[in-house]
Every structure is written in C-alpha cells, then in structure tokens.
Amino acid sequence: MLTTAPRGTMDILPAQAAKFQHVENVFRTLCRQANFQEIRTPMFEHSELFNRAVGEQTDIVQKEMYTFLDRSERSLTLRAEGTAPVARAFIEHGIYAQAQPTKYYYIAQIFRYEKPQQGRLRQHQQCGVEFFGTRHPYADVEVISLAYRFYRQLGLRQFDLLLNTIGCPECRPAYRQALTEFLGSRLQHLCPDCQSRFERNPMRVLDCKQEACQAFLQDAPTPVDYVCPSCAEHYQQVKEGLTALGIEFKENPRLVRGLDYYTNTAFEFYSYHIGAQGAIGGGGRYDGLVESCGGPATPGVGFGIGTERLIMALEAEGVTFPAPPAVDVFIAALGSQAEARALTLLGELRKADLIAEFDLMGRGLKAQMKQASRLGAKRVVVLGDNELERGVAIVRNMSSGEQTEVSLGELANYLR
C-alpha cells in the first residue's frame, strides 16, 4: 500500500511528462490563436454544483463522485468534470454582465470513481474549452474545429468525429415520450443497468455499451427525428460550417453523452486504436446550464479532451514526440576550489539560458565524462586547479571531441 499509487491513478514519470508538456503547449497555442483565455477553478466544489449541473440521475453523480465532508461538515466533491465549475465562476464573478461572448480554456485534473481499465482512470486530465454567450451555430463550429485542429496538429490521423443533435427543452418531451413507449414495451430484453436507467432517464439507455442492448436499440427512435424546426436549422448550420472548414464528421443519431446539461449539438471524437475506451474527447452545447446553476439564461458550448487517452492514441499511431532538450553543458570540476567556482559558473551559464549541470557525486574526471555523455551533454567544461589559476576552462565538444581553452569571463558567451 505504502509504495503503490491508489487504484486508477498513475505517476507521470519524466519521459511521459515531456509528452504531456508537448500536448499542453500545443493546446495553449491553439487556444491563444482562437482567443480563448485560461481559467483555473478549484480542485473541489460544493457537491450541490455537480448534482445540479451534471444531473442527479447520471452515472457520474450516482456512483462516480469523490464526495466528502470537510471539518465543518460541508459536502464537497473533487472536480468530477470541467464545465460546471467554469459555469459557476462565470456566474460568481458576474462575467455574464461583460460583453459576450466569453471564451475560456483549462487544463484540469478530473476525478471519477470508475472501474479502472486501460484508458479509464480515477484521476485524469482534460484539456477543455467553454464558450459562453451565443447560440450562433458557428460557436459550435469554432469549438469543434479547435478540437479537430488540436488532434491534427499533434499528428493524429485516424480518428472520427461523431455528431448528433439532441434537441432543446421544447422538443425533448415529445422525443422522451416516444422513447419511453419504445423501451417500455421491450424492457425485459435490456440489461439490468438499462432497466434502472430507464427508470431514471430513458435517454441514458441509448448510451449502453452492451452489444446485446445496442443491437436491440437499433430501431429505437432517435432525438434527431423529433427536433423542432429551430433545432433542426441550428444542426444544419453546424454541419454546413464544419463542411466549409473541410472537417469530416459522421452523424450518429444515438450519441447522447453522459451528462444531463447538453442541448442541441453533441459530439465525440473517437480513436479505434486504444481499446474499449476510445472516446478521446467529447462535448456539446449546454444552453440551460448557467441558468440552472443560478445565473441568467446564457447559452454555451464546449469540449473536454482526455489527455491520457489522447497520448495513448498518438502513441498507438506511432506519432513521435519532440525529444526533451538535452543538457547543453556539463561542468567537470576537479578539486574543491574548482567545485566552488563551478557552483557560481552554473548560475552564469543558466542565466544565459543554457541547460547546465555538474557533478555532486565526487567522481573522478573519467567518470564525470561518462556521466556527461549519459546525460547527452553537448559540451563539457573541464575546470581544474591549473585552469582556475589562469582564469580559463577547457571546453570539450562531445560529438567532435575537439577541445578549446576559453577564459571564464567569456564562457557563457562562447557556449551560447
């Protein structure tokens, strides 16, 4: 226990951390280009927020939240998803009163008590965006195309964008009614999970991953058949916008998403190379969310992309990541006086933006050279008593083997 991380969590060691950094850097750059601003919300929220926003009857709220009482008996929940906290901040800081739209992005840890398996963690990271203040279908297109560009820019090629519309509160009741009638008469054929979903929220049944249920659901009515003219028109414009940008999508009329706040557009990105948990991102429109959390009626649309799954998909496609930068300079100091000078020299070199390292293991010259090459150092600065007295150092180029004597005052400049 003491020496293992909790089930469903993982350590990200340096080689893997470099991949995360690369993915995050690309994400930040693309968000900046599209004028999304970073927002950081707390790691935990009042439980009520997720209950209300995500929905009492969803799997997340029913069985996946890390909820606890703090020492003042307040019920708090570790961030179970990224959208509700941003909507809460949008209300709390009166952002709705500013000129709209407002566009945010985040890189955040998410916590869900799920059954761990490949690609399904109890702590995962999402790169997400939330776009508030307009119902314009091109806001949906902006958001979806940003996700699409993100995958492509990272080098991902084999993924699908699945698209659907799930209507609005005006057209949803008629659909719900039709679905309830369809499912009600065939309930005995569905798995126990679906039977309880049917009681809680019939639309959740469409989401079942069991093959037997999916086969049975082939003929179920789908939301798109029941959408009102305004929702149909919205969906049409989203599709036209994506097409205009050359973004291919596949319509999936049974895509419903696992959170209750969605209205109209729903989408997911899929990779087929990473096992059963192939959803590498998902999102949609949530025009009722801000109001249901206590703010003024404000439309919104956004996505969340699971960084771990995305990296798995990139690795599965054999995409190469930029190599982490190697050490520029290794100072091999010989003797305590040289070691003391090396300490101050390191500061000068690092100030000149060089990645600089030295030896603290008391190694001899040969072993220090070996350590320098283990670190991939491009150059080694040899500093002995003799050099120190003359105010110079010997710089060895590790690939050519060439050696040059350089005065200590000039060293940073020379190496840069």
| Site residues, ligand HAM (CB under 6 A) | 81-83, 112, 114, 119-121, 124, 126, 128, 130, 258-259, 279-284, 302-306, 308-309
C-beta of 77 vs 371, nearer to ligand HAM: 77
Q: How far is the CB of 8 from ligand HAM (least distance, A)?
A: 8
Which secondary-structure segment (H or E) carries 336? helix 336-351
Which CB, 98 or 118, lies closer to ligand HAM? 118
Query: Closest CB to ligand HAM among 124 and 239?
Result: 124
Q: Which is nearer to ligand HAM, 221 or 295 (CB)?
A: 295
Smallest distance from the beta carbon of 68 to ligand HAM, in angstroms?
A: 19
- By C-beta, is 110 or 356 nearer to ligand HAM? 110
Nearer to ligand HAM (CB atom), residue 130 or residue 328 = 130
Q: How many CB atoms lie within 10 A of CB 311?
A: 22
41/83 with CB nearer ligand HAM: 83
Cα-based torsion angle of the residue sequence 364, 366, 371, 376 in order, rounded to the nearest 10 degrees: 150
Output the smallest distance, CB 195 to ligand HAM, in A.
23
Closest CB to ligand HAM among 143 and 227? 143
Q: In this complex, which beta carbon is closest to ligand HAM, that of residue 55 or of residue 281?
A: 281
CA angle 310, 268, 283 (to 5 degrees): 95
What is the b/e burial string over 17-51, where b = at least 16 CB atoms within 10 angstroms of the residue's CB?
Answer: ebbbebbeebbeebbeebebeebebeebbebebbb
Q: Least Å distance between CB 54 and ligand HAM?
A: 8
Residue least distant from ligand HAM (Cβ)? 306
In terms of Cβ atoms closer than 10 Å to its own Cβ (0-12, 13-18, 19+), residue 378 is middle
Give me the residues paired with residue 389 across strands: none
**Closest distance between ligand HAM and the C-beta of residue 87, in Å?**
9
Phi, psi of 161 (to 5 degrees): -105, 115
Distance from C-alpha of 112 to C-alpha of 132, rounded to nearest angstrom: 25
- Nearest approach, Cβ of residue 13 and ligand HAM (Å): 18
**Strands across the sheet containing 403-407:** 356-358, 329-333, 379-383, 392-397, 403-407
Say how far apart CA 20 and CA 127 lie, in whole Å: 11
By DSSP bridging, strand 263-271 and strand 123-132 are unpaired
Task: Give the alpha-carbon dihedral of 241, 243, 248, 251, to 10 degrees.
Answer: 70
Q: Write down the least CB distance from residue 276 to ligand HAM, Å.
A: 12
CB of 280 to ligand HAM, least distance (A): 5
Q: What is the separation, in whole angstroms, between the first and last Cα of the chain?
A: 48
Cβ 353 to ligand HAM shortest distance, Å: 36
CB closer to ligand HAM, 216 vs 286: 286
Q: What share of the chain is helix, strand, coil (3-state, %, to 5)?
A: 40, 20, 35
Q: Which run of H or E residues covers position 17? A: helix 14-33
Provide, rounded to whole angstroms, the least separation between the CB of residue 66 and ligand HAM.
Answer: 12
- CA separation, residue 163 to residues 150, 283, 285, 287 (Å): 18, 10, 12, 17
Report CA Rg, the chain: 28
